Structure 1
Amino acid sequence: MLLLRLSSWLLLLVCLDPFRHEVPGALASSVPSDAKTLVWGPGLETDIVLPARFFYIQAVDNSGRNLTTSPGEKTFEVKIVSPSEQFTRIWIQVLDRLDGSFLVRYRMYATYTDLHIQILLKNKHVAKSPYILKGPVYHEGCDCPQHSSSLWEAHMHCPQSFPQIDRDLSFYASVDPDRNAQEIPQRFGQRQSLCHYTIKDNKVYVKTFGEHVGFRIFMDAILLSLSRKVQLPDMEFFVNLGDWPLEKRKPTQMIHPIFSWCGSNNTRDIVMPTYDLTESVLETMGRISLDMMSVQANSGPAWPEKNATAFWRGRDSRQERLELVKLSRAHPNMIDAAFTNFFFFKHDESLYGPLVKHVSFFDFFKYKYQINIDGTVAAYRLPYLLAGDSVVLKQDSGYYEHFYNELQPWEHYIPIKADLGDLLEKIQWARDHDEEAKKIALAGQQFARYHLMGDKIFCYYHKLFQEYAKLQVTEPKIREGMELVEQPADDLFPCFCHRTQAKDEL
């Protein structure tokens, strides 16, 4: 069965990413060809507006073979200029993924009439360089929404559907904003922290319930960012700001639609990308250092040089984590697990300590095997673990993030039992089947590179809001006590929106 799954995975991988394959006989010393090297990605398209735009370079030699090791971090030079401007306020990073490919990301701090993206190899233009983005090319802070949601999705190359959205909304034949506005605050507003949002004429309004509402900044930010890019439908919804999903009623009962960052097998919440992943997308090349792009350039040594030990660091937010540290003490040659902080089980610190110093996340990938165990709810580090160059051993869990539905055990990760009863056995399997483990690691990495980048996160939110809005049977309203969430000021580099009002195709 395992061999069959791995065969299926290999076929899928070829279909998913035609540019990344190992060619027998490819030499580490191969020299890239400026004419044959490949360049592609959303950052080469005018209409894809992201906080940090990005595209890819795959080094190819003169014989047409993809390089599978790095030709050197400084191999390619990227320049982005606007002919009509003396200075361009653009920060560029060329990230070496050490597998023969590079991820180029850039963050614009102003809007330009045109952009010329030059990709150079020893002062020669690569592939079809220079790539010309016909303007206006809008930066993240520019409030200039595309009025056609279907056209925006087409420009973004969004998937036609997301399985988790279809599943979550299948519990609701209709949504009544008037009824929800009355019942949800009565049911949850006293004990939980909630945000009640209304989107009206592409403006965001909010009212909060509960004491701990600081996390609304993440929801405010993604709604404002999305509304600057595309006209959102009028809609009204509630967001759970806590860790645990809330709607525990059965589908046969009167359930309420609650948007949450985490779902579970015992609840009916509508799941969104986590606040952590959302913030990393919005702040890429900003104040956040850990994001889906930076991980790809910091995935540790090559597979044969990684430590063949299973690695974990974190805090004591679940009993199984205590058990993991106990296992590590009993089997230090197989598991390196320790706490960096005690909070929930302080009385057990003498049993499971001492605490160890914080380890840079990038240093996790010095190890072949990454253990992913739930914390308070799902462990939100899984996207970043998958994006690295190690294989993930993922605990069986009743909690899930928005993308778990599309992950397959033995294809994208190695499954372990909820009680960790087979963890040692699975680590030993990985050691005994090194090539298979490496292939699973690569499949998980490819999954993250495709499904969990910023463009797909924006697509997910947009599709969710579009499909949810269709279920509404009464008019969304700006309710008493709601306040307008203002767009951030862009006084230094204001932009002028050139879009004309067009009727939405939907």
Structure 2
Amino acid sequence: MCHGVFLFVVLALLSLPCLSRGDWRPRKLTTCDLHPEIEDLMLKDTKVWGDKGITEDLVRSLHDPCPPTEVRVHACVKSQRILIKNGTVYVTNLMPVNGFGAIELIGFLVELYETSQVFQLPDVEFSYWHDDNAPAESSRTGDGWSWPYPPHGLPPLLGWSKAQQHGALLVPYSGAFRCPRDSFDSLLSSVQRISETPWEQRLQIAFGRWNIFCAWYYRGPHIMQNGKPSPCPREHYNDLYYRRPDVLLTAALNRNLTNGQMADPVSLNDQNKFKYIVSTDGWSISSKFDKYLLLGSLILKAEGLTYGFYYPAIKPFEHYVPIMYKHEDDIFEMIEWAKKYDAEAKKIAINAQRFAMRNLNRHARLCYIFRLLTELSKQMRYEVSCDRRPVCVPLVEEIKFLSKHDATSTKCRYHEVLAQYAHDDPDGKPEFSGYEELRQKHEAMPLHILFGGRR
């Protein structure tokens, strides 16, 4: 009898799947925690549809106004429509080859795919807006939202930067967080080396580097405490440098320094030698501000009207020092304050670094996307399905295509996710067998089909 039982147990064990196989994956997560103030903003923004929720005609309003003769319509060329069904992510429009090369789009697609492999995503449909700011058309009008296309309600839009009056839901600026050589993720891996530059040895100079261009809200909507409109920070601080090179090194790229040399880029890995870092916005939120948080230096941040997904959780004089807040030259007052209260300035720098490491690392960003899409899915009032979409391509195939196409192959670190998940993803084709098919669709399909036009 004992031998029979032993044989039965052995056979039962042999019939179990082998957990040491190389293709074993952990079970997808169904919960995670966010910083409470980041969560509060996300919950507030996903409730704007009220009891009516999101109907299919709202989703279609993003792409229905896009016949071949109107491809310049803003809503047609700046949004990537996405559908998620049974945990699989699909793109339901394909960008023309001259429209998909920006890391603002690529980075989010890569990060969304990784989110789908780590978390169990709900059925949901939305568009990701990959321009600098959420579309101006999505503005608040009284208790409602303006949108120029029928049915004139707010469609589900995701964007990485917006102003208070815009209706988009904020997501991480994934392209800057993960794609460049000096990405946030890359810099995060260097925090040990960065921290080896002692605070006391850092130069008491306010350092900044940028190209000169300015957001729409300067010289107008952004009013400083003295009641005057703010000048363009990147122009103004460049000019201030010539007046006070003893405390400022805030020069625009390829402009003359006081020694006659040209101001060249300085690697983020080397900027921690300065005790103070000046952050200014461009067309929208700065793609470098997230990285500055990691440097262990005091950030002097020019105030603006646009914000990113985590901005409600960062506070002036706790994580950064505001400038262009009282008046246009208050940067000098803030530098003097930082010198006088050096220990307090150091504490603010430490707070910023700690906040970034805890709340902006990759897992935290994936968690945020998962939680946002989970809340957004609760607003869906129709069955999400590829059956009613003329284009429905698994995102894994689109990312494999981007990783091989000449125009996009070097734009992001695709293989961080492809090597982990794509080779045995049941939603993909073997290796890159779908590349030629997608290339032809991107390059040759009629534009009204590319953009998911009227049906």
TM-score by length of 1: 0.61
Q: 1:461 to 1:277 in 2, by over 3 A?
A: farther
Which secondary structure does the structure 2 equivalent of 1:476 belong to?
A: coil
Q: CA deviation at 1:477?
A: 2.3
Q: What's the offset of the Cα at 1:249?
A: 3.2
Q: For the residues of structure 1 that align with 2:425 and 2:236, how far apart are their CA atoms?
A: 58
Match of 1:457 among 329, 341, 365: 365
Deviations 1:40-72 (A, max 9, x none): xxxxxxxxxxxxxxxxxxxxxxxxxxxxxxxxx
Higher mean C-alpha displacement, 157-166 vs 448-457: 157-166
Q: CA deviation at 1:354?
A: 6.4
**Structure 2 residue matching 1:457: 3-state secondary structure:** helix
Separation of aligned partners in 1, 2:119 and 2:425: 16
Is residue 2:279 matched to residue 1:372? yes
- 1:254-287 per-residue CA deviation (whole Å, 9 max, x = no partner) reads 323210011212312110010234425xx89x99
Aligned to 2:27: 146
| Separation of aligned partners in 1, 2:126 and 2:241 | 45
Show the counterpart of 2:172.
Answer: 273
How far the C-alpha of 1:391 sits from its partner, in A, is: 0.7
Per the TM alignment, residue 454 of structure 1 is displaced from its structure 2 partner at its CA by: 1.5
Question: Would the aligned equivalents of 2:206 and 2:249 in 1 still touch at CA under 8 Å?
Answer: yes
Counterpart position of 1:474: 382
Per-residue deviation, 1:337: 1.2
* Paired position in structure 1 for 2:148: none
CA displacement at 1:186 relative to structure 2: 4.5
* Larger CA deviation: 292-301 vs 224-233: 292-301
Q: Secondary structure at the match of 1:415?
A: strand
Q: CA offsets, 1:402-433, max 9 Å, x none?
A: 11100111111111125633111111111111
- Cα distance in 2 for partners of 1:493, 1:269 equals 30
**Native 8 Å contact 1:245 1:260 kept in 2:** yes
Contact 1:222/1:278 (<8 A) preserved:
no
Q: 2:239 & 2:320 partners in 1: Cα distance?
A: 23
CA shift, 1:462, in A, is: 0.7
Residues 183, 470 of structure 1: CA spacing in aligned structure 2 closer, same or farther, 3 A cutoff?
same
Paired position in structure 2 for 1:262: 161
Once the two structures are superposed, residues 164-192 of structure 1 have per-residue CA deviations (whole angstroms, 9 ceiling, x without a partner) of: 21232132225425112321224687224
For the residues of structure 1 that align with 2:322 and 2:64, how far apart are their CA atoms? 40
The answer for the alignment partner of 2:140 in structure 1 is 249
What root-mean-square deviation, in Å, do the aligned CA atoms of Structure 1 and Structure 2 show?
3.3
Change (3 A) 1:431 1:377: same
Equivalent of 2:60, from 169, 179, 182?
Answer: 182
Aligned residue type for 1:401: G
Matched, 1:327 2:327: no
Task: Note the C-alpha offset of 1:363.
Answer: 1.4
**Structure with a larger share of its residues in helix:** 2
Amino acid aligned to 1:214: G
- Residue 163 of structure 1 is matched in structure 2 by 40
Relative to 1, partners in 2 of residues 1:491 and 1:442: Cα closer, same or farther, differing over 3 Å?
closer
Q: 1:387 aligns with which of 294, 300, 303?
A: 294
Q: 2:187 aligns with which of 272, 287, 291?
A: 291
Alpha-carbon offset, residue 446 of structure 1: 1.4
**Residues 403 and 390 from structure 1, CA distance in 2 versus in 1: closer, same or farther, beyond 3 angstroms?**
same
How far is 1:461 from its partner? 0.8
How high is the TM-score relative to the length of structure 2? 0.68
Whether 1:429 aligns to 2:337 is: yes
Kept after mapping to 2: 8 A contact 1:299/1:389: yes
The corresponding residue for 2:126 is 237
Identity of matched residues, %: 23
For 1:341-380, what per-residue CA distance to the aligned partner results, in whole angstroms no more than 9, with x for missing partners?
A: 58xxxxxx999x9642221112111111111111111112
* Matched length: 346
Q: 3-state SS of the aligned residue for 1:459?
A: helix
Once the two structures are TM-superposed, the CA of residue 143 in structure 1 deviates from its matched residue by 8.6
- Partners of 1:493 and 1:403 in 2: how far apart? 30
Q: Are 1:204 and 2:89 counterparts?
A: yes
Q: CA deviation at 1:310?
A: 0.5
Task: Indicate yes or no: 2:100 matched with 1:213.
Answer: yes
Alignment match of 1:403 (pick from 310, 319, 323): 310
Unmatched 5+ stretches in structure 1: 1-112, 114-134, 343-348, 498-506
Aligned partner of 1:7 in structure 2 is none
Structure with a larger share of its residues in strand: 1
Q: Is the 8 Å Cα contact of residues 178 and 186 (structure 2) preserved in structure 1?
A: no
Partner of 1:417: 324
Instruction: Say if 1:364 and 1:181 are closer, same or farther in 2 by CA, change over 3 A.
Output: same
* Structure-1 residue corresponding to 2:253: 340
Higher RCO (CA < 8 A, seq sep 6+): 2
- Cα distance, 1:492 vs. partner? 12
Tell me the SS of whatever aligns to 1:475.
coil
Please name the residue that 2:8 is paired with: none
Match of 1:9 in 2: none
Instruction: Give the direction of change, closer, same or farther, for the CA distance of 1:181–1:267 in structure 2 (3 Å limit).
Output: closer
**Alpha-carbon distance in 1 for matches of 2:373, 2:187:** 24
Query: How far did residue 316 of structure 1 move?
Result: 1.1
Most deviating of 162-171 and 230-239: 162-171
Cα distance, 1:293 vs. partner? 2.7
**Structure 1 position 313 matched with structure 2 position 198:** no
Contact 2:108–2:175 (CA under 8 A) maintained in structure 1: no
- For the 8 Å contact 1:338–1:355, the answer to whether it is kept is no
Distance change >3 Å, CA 308–CA 232, structure 1 → 2? same
Where does structure 2 lack aligned partners over 5 or more consecutive residues?
1-17, 146-152, 215-231, 401-417, 427-455
